[in-house]
Structure 1
């Protein structure tokens, strides 16, 4: 799957088959299905990319203190751009253009 295929899949009713857990969580996050994305993030704590996802989700929720905690756990600075830009950056770490 390419990045563009992933973006296009955001209008589907169900997640595309064969996604990794991280991409599945990002798919839900991109559709503002916060609880589904967060449940996946919680199942994979202590993995840096999932910790970054967890930080993003709490930032998306408006819980900036909790987001800061997860950015530290991920070993990443707090993201300075928009939520959409951060989401795109995370997806691009997993998929080719």
Structure 2
């Protein structure tokens, strides 16, 4: 899988495609509307990429303080874009 469009099309599947990174798997579950599974994928990870996805998920949840903590851990700042735009940016960053 190489493009955002291909990733978005995979959301019609019942399971995430094999070979996805943990970050993409988390974003896949989020794209399917399963925040809890998305969060579970990255919750216990401490690397910067996972922290970035974790930050997005907490922003989506509305927990801005927690999101900002995770953005900081990721070396990022909270973006001033819609959640959909951030999701797309994250997918593209990890593809």
Shared topology, TM-score over 0.5?
yes
List alignment gaps of at least 5 residues for structure 1: none
Question: Deviation string for 1:67-94 (max 9, x for gaps)?
Answer: 0111111111111100010010011012
Q: Where in structure 2 are the equivalents of 1:1-80 lying within 5 Å?
A: 1-3=1-3, 4-45=5-46, 47-80=47-80
- Deviation, 1:43, is 2.9
Q: TM-score, normalised by structure 1?
A: 0.90
CA distance in 2, matches of 1:22, 1:59: 16
Which contiguous aligned blocks of 4+ residues in structure 1 show a shift greater than 6 angstroms?
none
Unaligned runs of 5+ in 2: none
